[in-house]
Structure 1
Amino acid sequence: MDLFDRLPDTLVLDILNRVGDVKTLIRCRSVSKRLNSLVPQSESLLLRLDHESDTEFDSPVVGFFRSLFKSLHDLLPLFPRPVHPTRPPKNPAQILSGFDRIQNLEVEFPGGDINLEKGAAVKWKAEFGKTLRSCVIVAFRSVTVSKECSGEREGTAESDVEFVSGLKTRVVWTVSALMAASARHLRMKEVAKEHKEMERVVLRDREGEGTVVMDTEGLREYASEAAERDGEDGGERVGEVERGRTVVPSVRMSMRHAPSLRLKSGICLEGATLVVVRPSGATGDDDLAAEAFAGDMGGDCMYGEAVAALLKRRRNVLEMNSF
């Protein structure tokens, strides 16, 4: 008797959920009839997207025949090779169409979306329903390990020119983070519609730059709103596709910054910035900022310490129209 057949389905499903990786699970379906029937029941999935295919996973059998036909073409140079149009990459909804019980989904993008000058860093976390609920952004222009920061001397204050220049940079960081977050959010539209059983979705990049989170309530809200729009004229949907992202609503930005910020660990952050973005009228910025980089963001001590220090700084509030 095959000992694998003696394992109960619940145990096999637990193993598959711990594997999680969609590419591996899709290949597992070709191993046996039993795995082919159990893999679609996996509840916890990790989908890694890449630049090349975005991504399309072939079974080993399909891969074998593809390589075989390629070899035959190489051996028959007398016959012209047919020109095939480039196949459009599969989107996340197509890749996940073979799974029936997704509850927790993590999608990993190949890299960050914000173009930064050398030495600068931006880290953000956004929460969405049908649209943006909140976004917390921590950024700095450069980082060093030093006993004293360059602008830390007593009595030193920012000049008007430095403030305006720094403000422009901080606004660019904020807008770039919001556009990156809303672009990732749009990618999950069809997934939310087709997998109404999902309870949590986390979208992050391999470099750890930004994270989008959607909880059960947000996913239901997003799926319902998407279904309603399907029956309408579609003008707004066309606009979303052209932009490649969902619309960011009118927001209020609570911004704090320090020209130089020395942390207890001895790390010095130049141009340190904390921005909390909420739809106009929302409150509770400080609590949101304090919680944003614990747990889901990996508990990075440097960013957590920077947030705690920046929360003691004076706050500037800006309003931004929908875009």
Structure 2
Amino acid sequence: MQSKTRVHADPCLENPDVDQFDRIPDSLLLLILNKLADVRCLGRCSAVSRRFSALVPLVHDVYVKIDRVVTVDGDPDDDASSSSSAKPRNLFSHFLKLMLFTLFKPFNNLRNNNNGGSKPLFPQVAHHSPAQVLKNFTQVRNLTIELPAGDVGTEEGVLLKWRAEFGSTLHSCVILGGTRIDRKPASSDQEPSLEDNGSMPESFYTNGGLKLRVVWTISSLIAASTRHHLLRPIIKDHPTLRSLVLTDADGQGTLVMGVEQLKEFREKPLSASASSNRTQVPASNMKLRYAPYLELPNGTGMQGATLVAIRPSCEGSSGSHTSRKETEAFVCGAFDGPYKAAVKALVKRRTYLLEMNGF
């Protein structure tokens, strides 16, 4: 005789008063929120319930995308059309306003139910700094900030990319540049340039080529040191940070800081430049490599390809402890895709040493 088995519905599912979200453990919700990372999405999640609002500040990974320059006193939406057609001229002077608006916007309409629904959960934009807004995230470990555009202006068709590593000051910087990117590379049977014998051509010194590379280098270092200076209050208020990346939508420049660099940043005093709005760049040694033309794996070609690797001089530099292997790994891993192949090709070229005073 077969036994009869009955399947009963979960009584919790039949009870409309039971919130099914309450059955999800906090650890799983935090895992999902960390996958979201984007501060706008996290802001929307905070509006779902009091429980979500309490969990969002505990996320470890936060991604902030700043998509346009706004004025604190004005309506940010009024600038949408103009900002999409032109890059901000004075990006760093508006950086604090940019980040503040981006961080605060998702929470703009969020209300504190404990105060009768009339008091905002987060402070008003015009009265608080980005560091104060970020204080609501108490367990941030990995922070990524994306600016709307690159900082160094270049002529049309010119390629300029940089990646810098900072502690309390500059540790290393890699700059990759090209005077022009050819969308249709030269045919495979093209004869190599007569000047490309592995050495720097004489025309490089006489036609302004070297001067252009110096301008690229100084401009990139100024951009990197300015970004570094603006991160001070955020790093100070978030001792849980393990990784910090500040990049831009154009993919031009990236500033990175790891665990050891963040520790050094907190423990050693920073040296401000004479302009006081950026970190001072120490006296440095530069290794410059050049190729008149490089074919890239993605079917394009780079003219005037230049690679500059920068490290602080040994005298009086806190970044001088970096080993040669670490520096080489940083150089070769600075960029992805076809630009990674360009770096690998350039490191095989003849190296030219230059020295630069601090500024």
TM band (smaller chain): 0.7 to 0.9
Mark the CA change 1:90 to 1:134 in structure 2 (over 3 Å): closer, same or farther: farther
> Which residue is 2:264 aligned to?
221
> Which residue is 2:356 aligned to?
320
> Which residue is 1:116 aligned to?
154
Residue 168 of structure 2 is aligned to residue 93 of structure 1: no
Superposed CA deviations along residues 220-241 of structure 1, whole A, max 9, x for unmatched, are: 1112235xx7xxxxxx65x57x
- Which 5+ residue runs of structure 1 have no aligned equivalent? 64-86, 230-235
Please tell me the residue identity of whatever aligns with 2:304. Answer: G
Deviation at 1:95, TM superposition (A): 2.8
Cα pair 1:289 1:307 within 8 Å, conserved: no
- Which 5+ residue runs of structure 2 have no aligned equivalent? 1-17, 71-96, 112-124, 315-319
Candidates 251, 261, 281, aligned match of 1:248: 281
The SS at the match of 2:358 is: coil
Deviation at 1:151, TM superposition (A): 8.8
Q: Distance in 2 between matches of 1:46 and 1:306?
A: 29
Q: Distance in 1 between matches of 2:306 and 2:50?
A: 54
Residue 312 of structure 2 is aligned to residue 279 of structure 1: yes
Candidates 8, 12, 20, aligned match of 2:37: 20
Please tell me the residue identity of whatever aligns with 1:137. Answer: I
Q: Distance in 2 between matches of 1:91 and 1:204?
A: 20
Paired positions, count: 287
Using the size of structure 2 for normalisation, the TM-score is 0.72
Deviation at 1:266, TM superposition (A): 5.1
Percent of paired sites with the same residue:
38
Q: Distance in 2 between matches of 1:151 and 1:92?
A: 55
Q: Distance in 1 between matches of 2:230 and 2:58?
A: 23
Q: Distance in 2 between matches of 1:136 and 1:308?
A: 13
Mark the CA change 1:116 to 1:150 in structure 2 (over 3 Å): closer, same or farther: farther
Q: Please provide the CA RMSD for this pair.
A: 2.7
Deviation at 1:304, TM superposition (A): 1.3
Superposed CA deviations along residues 244-286 of structure 1, whole A, max 9, x for unmatched, are: 2111111101111112233466532111000000001347668
Q: Distance in 2 between matches of 1:90 and 1:47?
A: 17
Candidates 150, 156, 162, aligned match of 2:204: 162
Alignment of 1:169-180 (within 5 A): 169-180=212-223
Alignment of 1:139-154 (within 5 A): 139-144=177-182, 145-147=185-187, 152-154=192-194
Deviation at 1:169, TM superposition (A): 0.6
Range with greater deviation from structure 2 (30-39 or 123-132): 30-39
Please tell me the residue identity of whatever aligns with 1:153. Answer: S
Superposed CA deviations along residues 161-217 of structure 1, whole A, max 9, x for unmatched, are: 432411101111111111111111112111111111111111111111111110111
Deviation at 1:30, TM superposition (A): 3.1
Deviation at 1:160, TM superposition (A): 3.4
Larger Cα-atom Rg:
2
Q: Distance in 1 between matches of 2:331 and 2:356?
A: 22
Q: Distance in 2 between matches of 1:153 and 1:286?
A: 33
Range with greater deviation from structure 2 (39-48 or 29-38): 29-38
Mark the CA change 1:287 to 1:43 in structure 2 (over 3 Å): closer, same or farther: closer
Alignment of 1:36-75 (within 5 A): 36-49=53-66, 50-52=68-70, 53-54=97-98, 55-56=100-101, 57-58=104-105, 59-61=107-109
Q: Distance in 1 between matches of 2:358 and 2:189?
A: 38
Alignment of 1:300-311 (within 5 A): 300=337, 302-311=338-347
Residue 291 of structure 2 is aligned to residue 258 of structure 1: yes
Mark the CA change 1:189 to 1:155 in structure 2 (over 3 Å): closer, same or farther: closer
Cα pair 1:136 1:289 within 8 Å, conserved: no
The SS at the match of 1:319 is: strand
Superposed CA deviations along residues 112-170 of structure 1, whole A, max 9, x for unmatched, are: 01111111011111111001000011110101122269993346676534324111011
Mark the CA change 1:41 to 1:114 in structure 2 (over 3 Å): closer, same or farther: same
Please tell me the residue identity of whatever aligns with 2:243. Answer: R
Give the 4+ runs in structure 1 shifted more than 6 A: 148-151
Q: Distance in 1 between matches of 2:127 and 2:287?
A: 39
Cα pair 1:150 1:260 within 8 Å, conserved: no
Candidates 34, 49, 56, aligned match of 2:51: 34
Deviation at 1:92, TM superposition (A): 3.5
Deviation at 1:288, TM superposition (A): 3.1
The SS at the match of 1:219 is: helix
Range with greater deviation from structure 2 (278-287 or 94-103): 278-287
Q: Distance in 2 between matches of 1:175 and 1:16?
A: 40
